[in-house]
Structure 1
Amino acid sequence: MNTIIDLQSLIIFELVAQKGSISKAAHELNYAQSNISTKIQQLENFFQVSLFYRNNRGVTLTPKGQILLKYTKKIFHLIDETTKIIKDDNIPKGPLRIGSMETIAAIYLPRLFAKYHKEYPNVKLILKTGTTEKNIQDILQYNLDGAFIAGSINNSEIIQKTFTEEKLVLVTDVARPQISSIKDIQNQTLIVFPNGCFYRKILEQWLQNKGLLANKIMEFDTLEAIIGCICAGLGISLLPISVVNKYVKAGILRCYPIENSYTKVPVLFIYRKLNYMPTSLLKFINMF
């Protein structure tokens, strides 16, 4: 039996898994669909397992296929890491993929990125915003080089460094009656980021511990949308004071302190534990 798996087969396998379709993968690679099917069949013959469930809508990974995809990503990352080590001349260059929460991206990163770009113009900075959980998963799956998250993390594969500490406040529009008790917000609509956002998690935990239920929730992917909806009187939210301070000073929003056990949140910069640290990432970390 052939004991060699060629990288092209793994590239095709990963693309089929990503697209959920053999025909879409063939179209993207400009290959005949039969060639893609043959490569997948060769992999399945080699491992003697089914890697995909076939159906009328396309394909989905089997449990064994999910395992192979995980190791395929590790293989490609190892190749990429090896290439970087061989070519590394200690001059920061190439892409640097940074993940961040919307709040950190809005307040802290413009100045940090501007300073970094000025000092290392050969590095292509790529910013991807998402929830804390999404950023952690993207780090573990090698989709990001580093990410800013809220709250601590316990994972042996990840290194974390303190970036700053945020103070959370309850935020409302100015037309809403003054809040004197937590019970005043019981029936209010919560304006929040999608599940996986640490600030949303804190807000829901706070209300739950007070015996209150969040019956009305509106989710938005962007900070601008959340701020706009609060200003329009659609609901309330829990956000860092650094994000809303200018709106409060302008008389557009109103904020209220919350209990000390919930108000302070550490913001961390995380990255995978690597045998080799790219110079571009090392310089980025050293900058803060």
Structure 2
Amino acid sequence: MESQDLRIFKYVAEQKSISKAAAMLGYVQSNVSGRIKHLEEELDTKLLNRTNRGVTLTDEGVLLLEYTEKILFLMDEVKTKLNEEKGEGSLTIGASQTISAFKIPHFLSGFLKQNKNIKVKIKTDTKQILQEQLLYGEIDGLFFSGDNDEDRFEEVYCDHEKVVLLSCKGNDKRESSPTLLVNSDPNCIYRKKMLEFSQNHNFDKPVLMEFDSLESILQGISNGLGMSVIPADIAHSRLSRKIVQFEELSEGVQIQFGVKKGKQRSQSVKKFIRFLQKL
């Protein structure tokens, strides 16, 4: 029985869907189905009840899920302990592209000066996917903005970030139907700020232009495609006032760092939390 088979089973069990689990894992659906079938054959028992609406666990599947969670927890724990004994700490942090662009390099430059033996990996994705990765133990902690809508997370650090409204000089920011440059992720806090600004200023049927990357939004602003709301630190460091108009908004956003409740924290995670809390 391979540990990856157990991880795949855990995803399927919690998502109650083979297709959703496959999408989250980045596998084709047939691969996930094949691994579950192999696991059932190896254990000589049926683990899932398959329906048109998804899957549910059999009694044997419920029992295996209980043991799977214990096994995977112990595997992660022993890996952490072995690395610490070698003096090789590791830290995997999740964050959106926007937060990764300025905040994380700023934090890490100070943290790694004090902890040179810790290997750090950054994963960027949407808030929803990163939350799932935190719950499944794929990342140690998550930087996110906006409200915490997941009660299984514990916020251990919070910072306030100023935001600015940007548009290319020469463009009328108050035109009735402007183009709004926003992130394609509907949960992006900066997208929400842009839409909130549009509503408060009674824009008449604004045009939404969606992008998957911060770089595209920044280039779009410089090229006069429309306006956008982004963190002030990024705007000041990446855009020229000769080309772009800056307007600081009265309300900024909160940036939090969260970890999973109840999960044993490695020394690397504890050190990073202490570092953040001393800022």
TM-score range, shorter chain: 0.7 to 0.9
Deviation digits for residues 16-38 of structure 1, max 9, x if unmatched?
Answer: 8532334x469xxxxxx7x8744
For the 8 Å contact 2:89–2:267, the answer to whether it is kept is no
Q: Offset at 1:141?
A: 3.0
Q: Normalized against structure 1, the TM-score is what?
A: 0.73
Q: Offset at 1:281?
A: 0.8
Tell me what 1:46 maps to. Answer: 46
The structure-2 alpha-carbon separation of the partners of 1:88 and 1:129, relative to structure 1 and needing over 3 Å to count, comes to closer
Q: Equivalent of 2:213, from 222, 237, 249?
A: 222
| Alignment of structure 1 residues 1-288 onto 2, 5 Å | 9-11=5-7, 13=9, 17-18=21-22, 19-22=27-30, 24=31, 37-40=37-40, 45-47=45-47, 49-51=48-50, 62-64=55-57, 74-75=69-70, 77-84=72-79, 87=82, 89=84, 93-177=88-172, 179=173, 184-194=174-184, 195-212=186-203, 215-247=206-238, 250-258=241-249, 260=250, 263-288=251-276
Q: Offset at 1:9?
A: 4.8
The structure-2 alpha-carbon separation of the partners of 1:193 and 1:171, relative to structure 1 and needing over 3 Å to count, comes to same
In structure 2, give the amino acid aligned to 1:188.
P
The structure-2 alpha-carbon separation of the partners of 1:9 and 1:250, relative to structure 1 and needing over 3 Å to count, comes to closer
Paired positions, count: 260
The structure-2 alpha-carbon separation of the partners of 1:271 and 1:203, relative to structure 1 and needing over 3 Å to count, comes to same
Q: Normalized against structure 2, the TM-score is what?
A: 0.75
Query: d(CA) in 1 for partners of 2:195 and 2:240?
Result: 27
Query: d(CA) in 2 for partners of 1:234 and 1:199?
Result: 17
The structure-2 alpha-carbon separation of the partners of 1:92 and 1:268, relative to structure 1 and needing over 3 Å to count, comes to farther
In structure 1, give the amino acid aligned to 2:6.
L
Query: d(CA) in 2 for partners of 1:135 and 1:21?
Result: 21
Q: Offset at 1:254?
A: 0.8
Query: d(CA) in 2 for partners of 1:236 and 1:215?
Result: 11
Q: Percent identity?
A: 24
Structure 1 stretches of 5 or more lacking a match? 27-32, 54-59
In structure 2, give the amino acid aligned to 1:267.
I
Query: d(CA) in 2 for partners of 1:218 and 1:267?
Result: 25
